[in-house]
Structure 1
Amino acid sequence: EAVGDADAVKSTALGVKNLQRVAKMLLPATTSKKGEPYDDLAELLGRMLGQWVLEMNHVAALVGGVDSQQKYVGQQGLAFTPVSKARQKLAVAFLGENAFITPSWMIDPEILGRIEAVGAVARIRNAQNSVLTNLLNSGRFTRLVEQEALHGSMTYRPVEFLSDVRRAIWQELDGPQIRIDAFRRNLQRAYLDVANAKINGNAPTLPAGVPVGFLGSGDEKPFYRAEMRALDRSIAVAIPKTMDRETRAHLEGVRDQIARILDPRFNPVPANGAVTLRIGLDDPDLLTGIAGNTTTCWPDYVIRP
């Protein structure tokens, strides 16, 4: 938690270091009693990964966020001011270097070989997809649009935000030689799933009494379409630099998927498939792969395959 200096990036960096220490203790801490199953080991691994997701989402909250201070008539200053562009960009950069890089310190064959025959790749995807889905939350995007509309170039522009996220997810494309492993391929496919939902998902319906303007400016779909076109161009340049058949097949498949995402013939909209918009802040209950009790102030999340 960012207690004291309220620096979410700094506090989360320290939190991750603590989790890395915990990861080294899991096996000795849960295997002291001979003859016992490895249930505690599996449970603690899932909870550790769940804590990692919560801490990464702590950083994601800076994007599109506001600094608030209680104000009354006669007091100087504003009650709400956008988080500075520099802090928001730093948050996305931190996530690119921590949340969207495979957390190898969580992938210990000595642990995984004791608790499951398969599931490590899916477990990491679920965790990373949870952070990615939260970061690309439509409410967050709407706040970025409004911040730019009100405050101009001093804010973190939505197009810049989406570009930064795309580059973080697809950072291999800028290298001279390209290899993308199974963990990264999974994350990149999760990104495409999110983009597809933004472009081709059903338009939400508002609860009764909520003004239509709450839906925002309608920029989300065209901006994501532009991101898909930019990604397709980058992949076209990158394919000749691939170093193995798996990476080439993955990138060629991604280009095919982008073409389908951008072609309305492949994405018919159901006549009665509207989604009711939930009003509120970003909701961790909606994040894929997390199961937990969210009725308390301190939810207890577990990441499972």
Structure 2
Amino acid sequence: MQQNKTVTEFILLGLTQDPLRQKMVFLIFLIFYTATVVGNLLIIVIIQVSRTLGSPMYFFLFYLSITDTCFSTSIAPRLIIDSLSENRVISYNECMTQVFALHLFGGMEIFLLILMAIDRYVAICKPLQYPTIMRRQVCIIMIILAWIGSFIHSTSQIILALKLPFCGPNMIDHYCCDLQPLLKLACMDTYVINLLFVFDSGALCSSSFLFLMVSYIVILYSLRNHSAEGRKKALSTCTTHIIVVFLFLVPCAFIYTRPSVSFSIDKMVTVFYTIGTPFLNPLVYTLRNAEVKNAIRKLWRAKITSESI
């Protein structure tokens, strides 16, 4: 394999070749990335300093914001820089690193969504047992297991990528390195690797989506036994989580369940879950969450008071 691999660098074609559109890409995604980092860092700080946001739900949201920041950072900066650069070369090692980071943080995002669904299930369906089941030690163990699962997933992806020999064209018709566009450049029969790719990434996305949808259907069904006020609060929280699940997992499933088939909209769909979802998550969780908004107001008032003294 190593003797056949003559390609040591790749050229990313990006989202567009048009100079005017490239400038628009630079401006739009610079704004998106900046807002993503600021929004997620704000949530991280709020959860850390606020005494009212100490429940397991916000514990998982804290790690979701960290993951969103890292996930977007693994993709967006290169897209932004490449949009104004004529030399869009990425070395083989950098490309493999991006594949690993993309799946590490993408996998962590999926596992965190599952953990948040479990938390909501226990809180709504087993409220009396909630403090015991979702105690801090258990939540920490769940986070550790999520990181281990993400690492195993990303390791399997990078192993598949490293098995690909590249001895011909080195132009990747994408704005980032991922196994799907790399398969098209490999000078070997990729049928088996395609199957393994779908079995791993495709199955992870689709099975997680089905699991989460069934979980929230069970949760929403159980709300019929709650009071009107409790039902309204739980419904608002669950709706927020369902929105995030749809925003992330539907585009993922669209991309990763059919690696051997490509469509013209693939790059835009990838943009949506790699850059759009990390940008939207802070908005979704703050605009629809009264506790987070109240914590932000308290922090802002405390800051104004401290500056006026």
When normalised by structure 1's length, the TM-score is 0.29
Q: Which has the higher contact order (CA 8 A, sep 6+)?
A: 2
Which structure has more helix as a fraction of its residues?
2
When normalised by structure 2's length, the TM-score is 0.29
